[in-house]
Chain A
Amino acid sequence: MFTGVMANTWLAATVVAVIAGVTGFFAVLRGSTFAAHAIPNGAFAGAAGASLLGLNPFAGLAVFSVAGALGIAGLSRRSRPDVATALTFVMMLGIGALFVSWSSQYAQEAYSLLFGEVFGVSTDEVLPILVLGALSITAIIIMFGPLMLSSALPEVAAARGVDPRRMELAFLLVMALATSMTVPVVGALLMFSLMIGPAAAARSLTARPVLAMTLSVVIALVTVWIGIAASYQSNWPLGFYVGVIGAGFFLLGRAYAAVRRRLAVRGSPRPA
């Protein structure tokens, strides 16, 4: 279970979980969960295009996820962000449908892009994942302060000279970068589940930002590790375990927050 190709699987999945935990935390904090869904899913159209032209799917994924980030950020200037995201997303998928209809043998490959091939990660694939992963984490660390401020207190950030639009664009680009490397490994659907569930759970456990981000990474790691072990044993897809375990952690976090709130109400002195 830990040898040979499986060693690559554990390594790749661990890197992906760390990145998903960090970017997911900001996605949840900023309310950009729709973008977190749209960018990985829409990027698959790029892979379809690349395979049509006989290029490396990585290139297609990178181009389309960056284009998606630019599209969402650009349209958001004058539209509601959710409308901007929805329209960018459907446009990318529409183009994807066209690419797929042009190439006849794409269906199987598309399946692996949506649901991932985490048990078939080759040693050649691990290196780019590590590099891109380190890049996106570095980018987040560099802009950590302003990003946190503009996510939690947008007005204060704007008053201090942080341009919210530029921040949004920067964040979406990091998400695009993370996506183009993770989608071929874990699949677009799993990437989304892994970004949202753990981060949302962490946020209901604590309000302190750095602690919440750490927790989000830890929960993402635990989710994916349990998922791989269970998937290895049962042969059921990893995406299923990650989706369900992530949601389970969220419900646990919610229950914990509710209990704590009730205790706090009971413990506090009653107003006379």
Chain B
Amino acid sequence: MHYVFEPGFFASGPVHVALAVGTVIAITSAVVGVFTVTRGQSFAGHSLADIATTGGSGAFLIGVNQFWGYLAFGAGAAAFMEMIGIQRRRGRDVATGVVLGAALGLAALFLYLGTQYSSTTGASFTILFGSIFVLTSSTVPALIASALLALATVVALARVLLLTSLSPDIAAARGVPVRAVGAAFLMALAVSVALSAMIIGAVLSTALLIGPAATALRLAKSPVKAAITAAVLGVLAIWLGIVLAYDSFYWPPAGRGWPVSFFVVTLIVGGYLVTYLRRDRRPAPQENIDTEQACSPA
């Protein structure tokens, strides 16, 4: 046991908080992610994380609680994307890209102003990576409440969402307000992604949103099973990642510990690639038979 868990792992306060919050985030991201992947909105999911982070640095600049900065920018960007045409399949990526481009401009400005006043060179860095070990337990309740709200919205809308994702025409014919449902989902996505970006950074936020969901959708046949599989995979990835990061303190080049984001991302992408191998094997025998038949003399 000592070889897996370095001494002190279970006694460490930051590790407890990281595990608890990581679990909530992983489950929310995974379930929201199943719909994000089904609807082909991975780019929006990632962009909202970047944009929310911009809001966080803006809030920091004017001295407001960063939590609200993240939420406000995430939700505002979602509304903007909705307004300029994210609901149409063709214009989707462009609408997302334009909003992201503008927000990144703001990020540059906020960081510039921030370094003017406080000279924090590491600021650009948290934009990308965040750090799960710097959580304080005082932000945890508000965070869990918002995550649950986003999760509840998606679960409540699940049936309609699936229908509008798979065949918008049939949904419209049945009287489903397709655009309103899409907007509600985008808002839930924005909230869940803003939270995860705040805690674990934009990179891990995207990894946990897309990776487990895409893997689960390759393995499971029904949406419910996919959501459960994705949640399990996401939680496993973040737990293992935290354990490995804690252990890596004594690994070369020593003394600093490897980043959690590296481990979690590697586990997630690795898991996805494993399903690739599995998929590869199934059609392969058939191809072999075909070539054999083709090559055999008639």
Which positions in A face B, CB cutoff 8 Å? Answer: 28, 31-34, 36-37, 78-80, 82-83, 85-87, 89-91, 93-98, 100-102, 107-108, 110-111, 114-115, 187, 189-190, 192-193, 196-197, 200, 203, 236-244, 246-247, 250, 254
Interface pairs (10), CB distance under 8 Å: A37-B46, A79-B214, A85-B43, A86-B206, A87-B207, A90-B207, A95-B262, A111-B125, A114-B124, A187-B108
Total A-B Cβ pairs within 8 A: 187
Chain A CB within 8 A of B61 CB: no
Chain A CB within 8 A of B109 CB: yes
| Dominant secondary structure of chain B at its interface with chain A | helix
Minimum C-beta distance from B119 to chain A (A)? 11
Chain A CB within 8 A of B102 CB: yes
Given A31-B93, A33-B93, A98-B259: A246 and B42 interface contact (C-beta under 8 Å) = no
Is A247 in contact with B262, judged by CB distance below 8 angstroms? no
**Which of chain B's residues has its CB closest to A28's CB?**
B94
Q: How far is the CA of A83 from the CA of B37 in the complex (A)?
A: 7
**Which of chain A's residues has its CB closest to B269's CB?**
A91
Given A101-B256, A196-B97: A86 and B210 interface contact (C-beta under 8 Å) = yes
User: Among residues 81 to 112 in chain B, which have CB atoms less than 8 Å away from a CB atom of chain A?
Assistant: 84, 90, 92-94, 96-109, 111-112
Is A86 in contact with B46, judged by CB distance below 8 angstroms? yes
Given A33-B43, A107-B121, A110-B124: A243 and B102 interface contact (C-beta under 8 Å) = yes
Is A83 in contact with B210, judged by CB distance below 8 angstroms? yes
Q: How far is the CA of A108 from the CA of B92 in the complex (A)?
A: 35
Q: How far is the CA of A163 from the CA of B128 in the complex (A)?
A: 36
Chain A CB within 8 A of B261 CB: yes
**Which of chain B's residues has its CB closest to A244's CB?**
B105
Minimum C-beta distance from A239 to chain B (A)? 3
Most buried by B among A83, A203, A242, A246: A83
Chain A CB within 8 A of B133 CB: no
Most buried by A among B40, B102, B268: B102
Given A87-B210, A108-B121, A115-B124: A247 and B98 interface contact (C-beta under 8 Å) = yes
- Which residues on the A side are within 8 Å of B211 (C-beta)? 86-87, 90
Is B128 in contact with A93, judged by CB distance below 8 angstroms? yes
Q: Give the contact-size bracket for chain B.
A: 35 or more
Is B101 in contact with A247, judged by CB distance below 8 angstroms? yes
Instruction: Report which of B46, B92, B104, B124 forms a contact with A192, defined as CB distance below 8 A.
Output: B104
Minimum C-beta distance from B152 to chain A (A)? 25
Minimum C-beta distance from B297 to chain A (A)? 32
Q: How far is the CA of A203 from the CA of B94 in the complex (A)?
A: 10
Minimum C-beta distance from A54 to chain B (A)? 14
**Which of chain A's residues has its CB closest to B80's CB?**
A247
Chain A CB within 8 A of B122 CB: yes
- Which residues on the A side are within 8 Å of B206 (C-beta)? 86, 89-90
Minimum C-beta distance from A263 to chain B (A)? 20
Minimum C-beta distance from A198 to chain B (A)? 10
Minimum C-beta distance from A257 to chain B (A)? 11
- Which residues on the B side are within 8 Å of A196 (C-beta)? 94, 97-98, 100-101
Q: How far is the CA of A85 from the CA of B93 in the complex (A)?
A: 13
Q: How far is the CA of A246 from the CA of B101 in the complex (A)?
A: 8
Q: Contacts A34-B46, A83-B210, A237-B108 given; 4 further ones with Cβ under 8 A? A: A97-B203, A100-B125, A111-B111, A246-B98
Is B108 in contact with A97, judged by CB distance below 8 angstroms? no
Chain A CB within 8 A of B137 CB: no
Chain A CB within 8 A of B129 CB: yes
Instruction: Report which of A37, A91, A100, A203 forms a contact with B100, defined as CB distance below 8 A.
Output: A37
**Which of chain A's residues has its CB closest to B213's CB?**
A83
Is B207 in contact with A200, judged by CB distance below 8 angstroms? no
Q: How far is the CA of A32 from the CA of B94 in the complex (A)?
A: 9
Q: How far is the CA of A93 from the CA of B260 in the complex (A)?
A: 12
Given A97-B261, A236-B112: A107 and B125 interface contact (C-beta under 8 Å) = yes
**Which of chain B's residues has its CB closest to A33's CB?**
B97
